[in-house]
Structure 1
Amino acid sequence: MFSIMVVEDDNNTRRLTADVLEENGYKAVTAKNGLEALEIMDEKHIDLIIMDVMMPVMDGYELTSQLRRAECNIPILMVTAKEALSDKKKGFITGADDYMVKPVDEEEMLLRISALLRRSRIANDHKITAGETVFDYDTLTVINKDKKTELPLKEFMLIYKLLSYPNKIFTRRQLMDEIWDMATDTDERTVDVHINRLRERFKDNSDFDIITVRGLGYKAVKNGE
């Protein structure tokens, strides 16, 4: 489970954001300002930060700047009422990875969080193991019993995404938004095409299965776990 810190001085906004995260499978950690966030990070592992800009004691710009100076590459999503280009520019210059303007659309926020976490996982060179099968993101290869197979990019990203969250159901739209980009015009049926290709490719592999959840989407199951 990913731990996401919400740094926000408004009690209601902080609580509401934390509730949304918890309802969508994340562990929420909260802080009232940048200084409190740094203190918490000394004791807890955090995978991503959602932070307000205007806060007492230490604002979002200073918190981001301090983290980047310390070579902390944790993904940062700034959320603020400031929508001027100069404010966004300052946020990105200090080291923010993404920027949203209040009032925040919850669904869009979750999509942005998912995309930031995905990019972070790629940067951290994660490998996934299912039985005797190893998926290596660096090389887009699948290794099974000394046999190495390189997959096309979209196929690899699709199976890697599903196996990153075994037993979790993803809708076609979610998979499209994350793997084919939110702005893509590609039809959602392309997910079905890639799923069929993966099933054919791994039809003799008993380490995992890709399951169709009728009316919802797809999930991957690691066998024997």
Structure 2
Amino acid sequence: MHIVIVEDHDALREMTATVLREKGYFVTDLAYAEDVDSILDGARIDIIVIDLNLPGEDGLSLTKRLRKAHPLVGIIMMTGRDTPKDMTVGYESGADIYLIKPLAPETLLSAIGSLQRRLHGRTQNQPITLSQSENQLNGPKGSVTLQEAETKLLTACMRAPNYELEYGQAANLLGMNDEEYNKKTLEVRVVRLRKKIKNAAGDKLDIRAVRLKGYKLTNSIEIF
């Protein structure tokens, strides 16, 4: 499970990251909301722990943006804002769990465990969807951001007979001109896309090579 911590207090961020890593979680710790964007392209994120009083973009703004773009991600707010109004605003912004600082590490670990179980139940029957406008692939494992060319390729596969495209068609959709095109280079591009698909859909979707022909999607995608 990949957990991202967004906290500008260096000592608290480092301590929290250490506690989570010792429990076996893969952790990315960031000091600014703007840094989150640098890890979203193709990366699987399961849970984000967000402080509200961040420099630059604040935690509420970040939460709203993430909830819209990544509806399946788990969001925990960890903040010193402790009034009922603050909590209401936090939940309305998209938080799954609202925790008030200071808190014991065991409290955060319990919240993460609870949210992990809820997310697992939430995604069991989650359809695989593709947003063409946002270049976003959503599935039972999470959400990933695609390149525009990758979105075009998946869309074309869905609309093709038997979900299959020829090598040349795939290369064209991935923006490769005649000079750039060769099967080895094309396969490298498809392998990158395959990793993103796995991060979003797990084993429910793949784009496989069809010998001497091209590529084929193994399942359907809802496109909007």
TM range, smaller chain:
0.5 to 0.7
1:31/1:43 Cα in 2 relative to 1: closer, same or farther (>3 Å)?
A: farther
**Residues 56-98 of structure 1: CA distance to partner in whole angstroms, max 9, x if unpaired?**
1111100110112224320100000110111111100000000
TM-score (norm 1): 0.53
Q: Which runs of structure 2 are paired with 1:4-23 in the superposition (5 Å)?
A: 4-23=3-22
AA matched with 1:78: M
Q: Name 2:111's counterpart in structure 1.
A: 112
AA matched with 2:49: I
TM-score (norm 2): 0.54
Q: Secondary structure at the match of 2:57?
A: coil
Q: Which runs of structure 2 are paired with 1:44-83 in the superposition (5 Å)?
A: 44-83=43-82
Q: Name 1:124's counterpart in structure 2.
A: 123
Q: Secondary structure at the match of 1:76?
A: strand
Q: Secondary structure at the match of 2:98?
A: strand
Q: Secondary structure at the match of 2:61?
A: helix
**Matches of 1:61 and 1:98 in 2, distance apart?**
13
* Larger RCO (CA within 8 A; separation ≥ 6): 2
AA matched with 2:65: Q
**Matches of 1:15 and 1:49 in 2, distance apart?**
15
Q: Secondary structure at the match of 2:29?
A: strand
Q: Name 1:29's counterpart in structure 2.
A: 28
Q: Where do 4+ consecutive residues of structure 1 move more than 3 Å?
A: none
Q: Which runs of structure 2 are paired with 1:174-213 in the superposition (5 Å)?
A: none
Cα RMSD for the two superposed structures? 1.3
**Matches of 1:41 and 1:16 in 2, distance apart?**
23
AA matched with 1:107: E
Q: Name 2:96's counterpart in structure 1.
A: 97
Q: Secondary structure at the match of 1:99?
A: strand
**Residues 13-41 of structure 1: CA distance to partner in whole angstroms, max 9, x if unpaired?**
11000000001111111111211112222
Q: Secondary structure at the match of 1:56?
A: coil
**Matches of 1:56 and 1:3 in 2, distance apart?**
24
Post-superposition offset of 1:44: 2.4
1:71/1:25 Cα in 2 relative to 1: closer, same or farther (>3 Å)?
A: closer
Q: How many residues were matched structurally?
A: 125
Q: Secondary structure at the match of 2:28?
A: strand
Q: Name 1:219's counterpart in structure 2.
A: none
Higher helix share: 2
Q: Kindly, what percent of the aligned residue pairs are identical? A: 34
AA matched with 1:4: I
Q: Secondary structure at the match of 2:78?
A: strand
**Matches of 2:87 and 2:102 in 1, distance apart?**
16
- Alignment of 1:87 onto 2:86: yes
**Matches of 2:10 and 2:47 in 1, distance apart?**
20
1:115/1:73 Cα in 2 relative to 1: closer, same or farther (>3 Å)?
A: same
AA matched with 1:122: G
Residue ranges of structure 1 left out of the alignment (5+ in a row): 127-225
**Matches of 1:6 and 1:68 in 2, distance apart?**
16
AA matched with 1:84: T
**Matches of 2:40 and 2:29 in 1, distance apart?**
11
**Matches of 1:101 and 1:78 in 2, distance apart?**
8
